[in-house]
Amino acid sequence: MFDDVLLCKGENEDSPKCSLNGNSAQHRQIKRSNGRRKKNKKKSEAEDLWSLLTQCAQSVGVNDQRTANEMLKLIRQHSSEFGDGTQRSAHYFANGLTTHLAGMGAPLYAHLLSNRTSAADALKAYGVYVLACPFKKMSNFYANKRIMELAEKATTLHIIDFGICYGFQWPCLIQLLLAQAGGPSKLRITGLSSHNQCNVIAKKWETIQLEELKITKDEVVVVNCMYRLKNLPDDTVSPTSARETVLKLIRSINPESFIHGVANGTYNAPFFFSRFRKALFHFSAQFDIFEATVAQDDPQRMMFEKEIHGRDIMNLVACEGTERVERPETYKQWQVRTLRTGFKQVPLNQELVKKVMDMVQSSYHRDFVVDVDGHWMLQGWKGRIIYALSCWKPVKN
């Protein structure tokens, strides 16, 4: 399905499949001009929606409810969860602004969290995301290959996964381990999450004690955290930073490797309008990805946008203080934090990075980008860095 979508997106009226009878040079010029006008009109509509959202956020920021509600009416007229990427993005940001105005951010977000979809439906939506977007698949591929390298010398491999969720990363690794000659005879996975699987520790990560992880001396321990530390409280919430506490816990584990995937974001400002503007820029890219790769009426696309992007937007727009859990930092900020805690970066495996680049180039939309900055593998869309991945080792005392 997705190959067909990409083919149609890449074709134009001058290609052999789309040629028309009476195909003169003048006719072709008219078609190209019409195409430019349609594209410019769509761009103008998107800019108008962005402008309305930005002005509305300014009014919300100063609690000008009358002006904000008037603008929200206009935004609602031109946005929809069933529209194009820009209209869908505007719909969910409008939901967040409406909830912020009503002062109902915390209870509504709590309701969204408790009203989770079933594991079967989540798997379907996740499948569409993986087919359309390489970020999670390529991150898991790189991380699992690095773990395989460490597993060669292990009798017992112990993976501590901060944010295991449904554990989609691990079936592929288990298959690889079963096929590997001379690999570990025992695999332990400790999942830190609220979901019931593997050996689960369901509590705030900053309150976990080393003894609870039940690490034994004969284990090769790998700590894996994919894009979840962004949900920890930061320094603006408490003088004792949960992020520093968790990084120190990981350092005390003394893992053979700490694989850290970072959701790269700048929308963690304490000031509402600044946070809103940067979040709008970030999530427009997320909705644009689906718009370019998946049909608008795909039910799994709509589910993913509602349950993942819509929920995150609701939290960062409608919630304040400790209730706001969407607090991403840039990978460069995380680098400073992690170095300060007593880790050193491990150079990227260039052969694996090349494989990731080749797979993305051959199997995904041309606007996806894989790049390298120092020891970080970066993944993005149209030049915007969305995720970064790096491996770390504790500095020996």
Q: Are residues 354 and 213 in the same domain?
A: yes
Provide the residue range defining the domain that includes 108. 2-115+270-323
What pTM does this model have?
0.83
Distance CA 146, CA 198 (A): 21
The more confidently predicted of residues 394 and 107 is 394
Q: Tens of pLDDT along 337-394?
A: 999 999 999 999 999 999 999 999 999 999 999 999 999 999 999 999 999 999 999 9
> What is the arithmetic mean of pLDDT over 41-47?
63
Distance CA 121, CA 16 (A): 40
Using the predicted structure, report yes or no on whether residue 87 has a pLDDT greater than 80: yes
Q: Are residues 278 and 261 in the same domain?
A: no
Q: Are residues 255 and 163 in the same domain?
A: yes
Q: Are residues 22 and 79 in the same domain?
A: yes
Nearest to 164 by CA among 138, 180, 142, 140: 140
DSSP label of 262: E
Confidence at 10, pLDDT banded by 50, 70, 90: very low
Helices 65-77, 25-61: crossing angle, 10 deg rounding: 150
**b/e map 16-51, b = 16+ CB within 10 Å:** eeeeeeeeeeeeeeebeeeeeeeeeeeeeebeebbe
SS3 373: strand
Q: Are residues 261 and 291 in the same domain?
A: no
The more confidently predicted of residues 77 and 200 is 77
Q: What is the pLDDT of residue 5?
A: 27
Q: Does any domain span residue 127?
A: no
Q: Are residues 277 and 299 in the same domain?
A: yes
Report the run of H or E that residue 190 belongs to, with start and end: strand 186-192
Q: What is the pLDDT of residue 40?
A: 60
Q: Does any domain span residue 379?
A: yes
Q: Are residues 162 and 296 in the same domain?
A: no
Q: Are residues 366 and 231 in the same domain?
A: yes
**Lowest-pLDDT range of 24-33, 248-257, 376-385:** 24-33
Q: Are residues 153 and 292 in the same domain?
A: no
In terms of average pLDDT, the best of 44-48, 148-152, 338-342 is 338-342
> What is the arithmetic mean of pLDDT over 302-329?
93
Q: What is the pLDDT of residue 386?
A: 96
**Lowest-pLDDT range of 111-125, 285-299, 307-321:** 111-125
DSSP bridge partners of 368: 381
Q: Are residues 304 and 337 in the same domain?
A: no
Q: What is the pLDDT of residue 41?
A: 59
Q: Does any domain span residue 316?
A: yes
Q: Does any domain span residue 369?
A: yes
Q: Are residues 280 and 308 in the same domain?
A: yes
Q: Tens of pLDDT along 204-223?
A: 888 888 878 888 888 999 99
> What is the arithmetic mean of pLDDT over 44-50?
76
Q: Are residues 238 and 332 in the same domain?
A: yes
Q: Does any domain span residue 98?
A: yes
Q: What is the pLDDT of residue 34?
A: 42
Here the CATH number for the domain that contains residue 149 is 3.40.50
Distance CA 89, CA 78 (A): 11
Q: Does any domain span residue 236?
A: yes
> What is the arithmetic mean of pLDDT over 309-322?
93
Q: Does any domain span residue 122?
A: no
Q: Does any domain span residue 120?
A: no
Q: What is the pLDDT of residue 8?
A: 31
| Residue 263 near residue 352, CB atoms below 8 Å | no
Exposure of 383 by Cβ count < 10 A (0-12 exposed, 13-18 middle, 19+ buried)?
Answer: exposed
Number of domains in the chain: 2
pLDDT, averaged across the chain: 84
Q: What is the pLDDT of residue 106?
A: 77
Using the predicted structure, report yes or no on whether residue 131 has a pLDDT greater than 50: yes
